[in-house]
Amino acid sequence: MNRLIPVACEADIPAAYRGTPLGALLRYHDLRAPMPSRAENPEVLIGMCMDSRKHLRIPDNFAFILRTGGANLRQSEFRVSYAIAVGGVRAIALLGHTNCGMSGLAGRREDFVRGLIDVGWERPEAEEQFDRFLPAHEIGVEIDFIVSEARRLRALYPKVVVAPMIYRVEDDRICAVRESGGA
């Protein structure tokens, strides 16, 4: 079963997201819908990867955006809570992407170590940093991680809608994710 739900027209937006900031995100970005130059207040928190290949088409002030490697918000709960408690958002778009560098991270150990050596680190310290932080930053398969992270955030914030999504860097499109237990 294909778990990605591409959005080529309004009818492709999952029913649960229609009329919400999550639907608006898909309409603005994928459908190129008209949008105000500036939203009155942030309506959604977008957790996305720090990867430079992704750029969203959304109005200014539409979203709080947290960029972390792999869209991994495991160490960003205070910032998420702030956007919800003080910023008033009630929706989170968790936006992973294809070809993420945090997937299969263990295979990049030597590149990581060499890169730090090139800027003045000693090999043992570079290796120690990689080995110490690898478990918290390796995401595994992108879509599986995004679904599990969405479930984790739903447990923390039960009254907030959390939508797992994938940004396809190949075509600059966002897809909703069909979860195994339903979308």
Quick one: pLDDT band at residue 16, thresholds 50, 70, 90? very high
- Is residue 72 over pLDDT 80? yes
| Residue-level pLDDT at 183 | 43
pLDDT average, residue stretch 142-162: 96
Give the type of residue at 2: N
Identify the CA nearest to 89 among candidates 157, 182, 1, 10. 157
The residues near 47 (Cβ < 8 Å, ≥ 6 apart) are: 66, 68, 71, 73, 76, 80, 92, 93, 94, 95, 149
Write b or e for each residue in 103-113: b if 16 or more Cβ atoms lie within 10 A of its Cβ, otherwise e: bebeeeeeebb
Q: Which domains does the chain have, with CATH numbers?
A: 4-103+141-177 (3.40.1050.10), 104-138 (no CATH)
Q: How far apart are CA 43 and CA 155, in angstroms?
A: 20
- Is residue 26 over pLDDT 50? yes
- Is residue 101 over pLDDT 50? yes
> Each residue of 41-61: pLDDT tens digit?
999 999 999 988 888 999 999
Q: Are 80 and 66 in contact (CB under 8 A)?
A: yes
- Is residue 131 over pLDDT 70? yes
The whole model's pTM is what?
Answer: 0.91
Q: Are 167 and 173 in contact (CB under 8 A)?
A: yes
pLDDT average, residue stretch 131-139: 95
Q: How far apart are CA 163 and CA 64, in angstroms?
A: 15
Please give the mean pLDDT across all residues of the chain: 94
| Residue-level pLDDT at 2 | 86
